[in-house]
Amino acid sequence: MAKSSNQKLKLIYLARILQEKTDEEHGLTMQEIIDELARYDVKAERKSIYDDVEALNILGMDVLKETAGGRTEYKLVSRTFELAELKLLVDAVQSSRFITRKKSESLIRKIEGLASTHQAKKLARNVHVANRIKTMNESIYYTVDYIHSAIYQGKKISFQYFKWNEKGEKALRRDGKVYKVSPWALTWDDENYYLVAFDSEAGIIKHYRVDKMVKLSVTDEKREGEEHFKNFDMALYSKKTFGMYSGKDEQVTLRCRNAMADPIIDRFGQDVLMRPVPGEEAFDVTVKVSVSPVFLTWVMNFGGDMKITGPQHVIDQQIELAHKTLDLYK
């Protein structure tokens, strides 16, 4: 009997069948494997499949033969990603504001393809993309790709930057002026994607929301600012910059009730030095932060459980912000 044109792909189809139809909890009998191969117009005998399974194991696939209750099954028992890891990836995609709803759904479908059909059902159960607030910038994928290319090539990028106006429309910042900066890193903070770059004109490090960048292109100009990034610590930068809102770096001392240890460590890490205040159920902590309205508001969120005790000019900024807030309600 003449072999079909798909016969030479038998090993590949067998690998696909095991990946899609089996996992640690679900297997296929030899007859079910033969039937599945027939769907691809591939004829197979049991002996040849035994040899193919052995070949797949040699190639690194962990195919197990298991007998239980009179049923002998073959199953793929390990994969590049475990189910728990795939769930983490799905959760990350779902919760990412910088990924649009359309791209989120597309990515999640691809992640599900890394699991068996049985496992994919468990992933689908957790998908709740429809009502999440997502960016509306569909070009963000390409923007990120251009930025990575520029970083790799050591080139500057140019783009326009927008904000939303009261009509819900995009309004270009600085009257549409083209920004030109040297990209050095991308970071994910506060559910958004940010570019960290050196602004040669201002001579400082700045960051930009990637989903608010448009008409981005990689220039032929060599990027600058290397001396500012030799000892740059992205984790420290994110820790001191609240909501990626720029401000002047300051050493600020906070007096906190003991119950505030949890949010302090969550924000500044376990290495932060918390000094007990004698006679009080409180501690002092000195941290380096970028003083901005976002930081001051963060402190105010904790009411009487946290206050700034120095330096005085930062205390004055906090008092001024509090008065402005109170005035809105008079």
CATH code where residue 18 lies: 1.10.10.10
The stretches in the chain having pLDDT less than 50 are 1-2, 129-131
Cis upstream peptide for 311 (omega within 30°):
yes
Same domain, 202 and 219: yes
Is residue 246 one of the residues assigned to a domain?
A: yes
User: Are residues 120 and 177 part of one domain?
Assistant: no
Report in angstroms the alpha-carbon separations of 247 from 67, 155, 167, 225, 239: 66, 27, 29, 20, 13
Residues 222 and 171 in one domain: yes
Give the range of the structural domain holding residue 60, as residue numbers without chain letter: 7-76
pLDDT, residue 197, reads 92
Strand order in the sheet with 248-257: 274-276, 282-291, 248-257, 306-310
Same domain? For 70 and 94 the reply is no
Q: Exposed, middle or buried, 228 (CB in 10 Å: 0-12/13-18/19+)? A: middle
| Helices and strands: H and E segment counts in the chain | 12, 12
Q: Are residues 221 and 164 in the same domain?
A: yes
Same domain as 155, residue 225: yes
Domain shared by 251 and 322, yes or no = yes
Asked if 212 and 163 count as a contact pair (C-beta separation under 8 A), the reply is yes
| In a domain? residue 13 | yes
Q: Give me 249's structure tokens.
A: 């770096």
- SS3 state of residue 97: coil
Residues 184 and 111 in one domain: no
What confidence score (pLDDT) does residue 131 get? 47
- Give the C-alpha separation, 245 to 189, whole Å: 11
CA distance 92 to 53: 35
Q: What is the pTM of this model?
A: 0.58
**Does 290 fall in a domain?**
yes
**Do 97 and 67 share a structural domain?**
no
Q: What does the pLDDT read at residue 1?
A: 44
According to the model, what pLDDT value does residue 166 have? 66
Looking at the fold, whether 287 and 246 belong to one and the same domain comes out as: yes
Q: Is residue 58 part of a domain?
A: yes
Please give the tally of structural domains in the chain.
4
The CATH number for 200's domain is 2.30.30
Same-domain check for residues 285 and 258 = yes
pLDDT of residue 269: 79
In a domain, 2, yes or no: no
Side-chain-facing half-sphere of 156: CA atoms under 13 Å: 18
Q: What CATH number has the domain bearing residue 296?
A: 3.30.70
* Residue 200 falls inside a structural domain: yes
Same-domain status, 154 and 90:
no
Measured between its terminal Cα atoms, the distance across the chain in Å is 92
In a domain, 98, yes or no: yes
182 contacts: CB under 8 Å, gap ≥ 6? 156, 197, 198, 199, 200, 223, 224, 225
pLDDT value, residue 104:
83
